[in-house]
């Protein structure tokens, strides 16, 4: 009897913990159901559609086929039915990846100095600068993209200024090019780089920087050996936040690219629209999601290693 009584408090604590876990799950159940129906449900539809046969006028024919997945990289020749590389898709894949990477690098180049400037301001002024950074989010993405179009077009602000200064003799064709898409995405996603880097710089102990200078470290050495390792989690987070939406961007490439410089998101929309090849569109969507998951898993792995190393 005494041994049973000794274990009684532990059993009561375990039962209380189990009851608390059940109540937490019950509270989270509505959100889990909504997420399952709103996210997992459409995702399963895409998985099923990717293994079906395309219909003649859109939709799908309920007949198993791997053509959707195969057509992401290869296509059948219209004359002898042999398989050849889908050059158009591969060029779009490369354009999407390269422009997303360039956008990430440019936002990093402009975002880190901006975040450093904000974080080193007096506390009373930081809110004002952060407010200016977040103002673009108050405006619809399409409106912001059209505003960029007014800057880049042949009669836009940039060309008019260059003509007035005598730097150029004729307007430069910037619209409907990769430059226009990269310029637009850099502007659109710059705040997503500034905010995480600012959070990292704001927590930086500047006494470490002073100690580095006391040990005769130059500015570049102090930045490379002290500042950069400490703000690296913010840089990685900002890079992920910029790279992932850039990879699937639709509005900005559609408006600034003019339908000629397609990216991954535009290619997916084309298959569900004019292409009327829903299995191919579903397969491309799943490929994009897989790329995003790989990037997120890499980020989690890097941050976990950083935390385990202290």
Cα–Cα dist 53/150, whole Å? 43
The encoded tokens of residue 66 equal 């791997």
23/132 same-domain check: no
β-bridge pairing 60-61 and 74-76: unpaired
Task: Point out which residues pair with 61 in neighbouring strands.
Answer: 53
* Residue 263 DSSP symbol: -
287/174 same-domain check: yes
Closest CA to 245 of 95, 115, 96, 36: 96
In a domain, residue 61? The reply is: no
Length of the chain equals 310
Q: 24-80 pLDDT, tens per residue?
A: 888 888 888 888 888 788 889 999 999 999 988 888 999 999 989 999 988 887 777
Q: 263-305 pLDDT, tens per residue?
A: 999 999 999 988 889 999 999 999 999 988 888 888 778 777 7
β-bridge pairing 74-76 and 83-85: antiparallel
32/131 same-domain check: no
Closest CA to 292 of 260, 249, 252: 249
112/179 same-domain check: yes
CA terminus-to-terminus distance, the chain? 48
167/292 same-domain check: yes
What pLDDT was estimated at residue 51? 95
- Find out whether 52 and 35 touch, Cβ atoms under 8 Å: no
Q: Domain residues for 206?
A: 85-308
Which CATH number belongs to the domain containing residue 167 in this structure? 1.10.3720.10
In a domain, residue 103? The reply is: yes
43/179 same-domain check: no
Closest CA to 246 of 286, 203, 291, 212: 291
pTM of the model as a whole: 0.82
In a domain, residue 58? The reply is: no
In a domain, residue 170? The reply is: yes
What pLDDT was estimated at residue 152? 92
117/230 same-domain check: yes
Classified as helix, coil or strand, 53 is strand
Confidence of residue 307 (pLDDT cuts 50, 70, 90): low
Q: 68-116 pLDDT, tens per residue?
A: 999 998 888 777 778 888 888 899 999 999 999 999 999 999 999 999 9
Cα–Cα dist 85/89, whole Å? 9
Q: 174-229 pLDDT, tens per residue?
A: 999 999 999 999 999 999 999 999 999 998 888 888 898 888 888 889 888 899 88
Q: How many domains does the chain have?
A: 2
24/131 same-domain check: no
What pLDDT was estimated at residue 1? 47
220/140 same-domain check: yes
In a domain, residue 67? The reply is: no
Q: Give residue 195's Cα distance to chain centre.
A: 14
In a domain, residue 71? The reply is: no
In a domain, residue 63? The reply is: no
């Amino acid at each position: 009897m005494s041994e049973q009584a000794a274990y009684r408090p532990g059993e009561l604590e375990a039962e209380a913990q189990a009851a608390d876990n059940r109540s937490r799950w019950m509270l989270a159940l509505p959100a889990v159901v909504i997420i399952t129906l709103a996210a997992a449900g459409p995702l399963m539809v895409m998985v099923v559609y990717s293994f079906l046969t395309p219909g003649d006028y859109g939709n799908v024919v309920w007949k198993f086929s791997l053509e959707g997945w195969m057509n992401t990289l290869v296509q059948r020749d219209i004359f002898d039915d042999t398989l050849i590389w889908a050059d158009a898709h591969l060029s779009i894949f490369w354009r999407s990846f390269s422009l997303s990477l360039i956008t990430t690098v440019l936002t990093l180049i402009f975002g880190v100095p901006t975040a450093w400037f904000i974080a080193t301001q007096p506390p009373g002024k930081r809110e004002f600068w952060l407010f200016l950074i977040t103002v673009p989010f108050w405006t619809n993405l399409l409106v912001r993209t059209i505003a960029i179009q007014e800057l880049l077009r042949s009669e836009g602000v940039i060309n008019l200024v260059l003509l007035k200064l005598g730097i150029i003799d004729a307007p430069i064709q910037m619209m409907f090019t990769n430059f226009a898409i990269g310029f637009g995405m850099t502007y659109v996603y710059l705040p997503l780089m500034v905010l995480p880097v600012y959070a990292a710089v704001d927590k930086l102990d500047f006494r470490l920087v002073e100690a580095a200078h006391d040990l005769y470290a130059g500015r570049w050495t102090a930045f490379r050996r002290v500042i950069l390792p400490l703000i690296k989690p913010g840089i990685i987070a900002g890079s992920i936040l910029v790279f992932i939406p850039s990879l699937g961007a639709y509005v900005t490439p559609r408006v600034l690219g003019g339908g000629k410089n397609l990216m991954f998101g535009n290619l997916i929309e084309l298959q569900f629209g004019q292409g009327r090849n829903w299995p191919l569109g579903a397969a491309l969507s799943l490929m994009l999601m897989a790329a995003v998951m790989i990037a997120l898993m890499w980020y989690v792995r890097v941050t976990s290693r950083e935390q385990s190393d202290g």
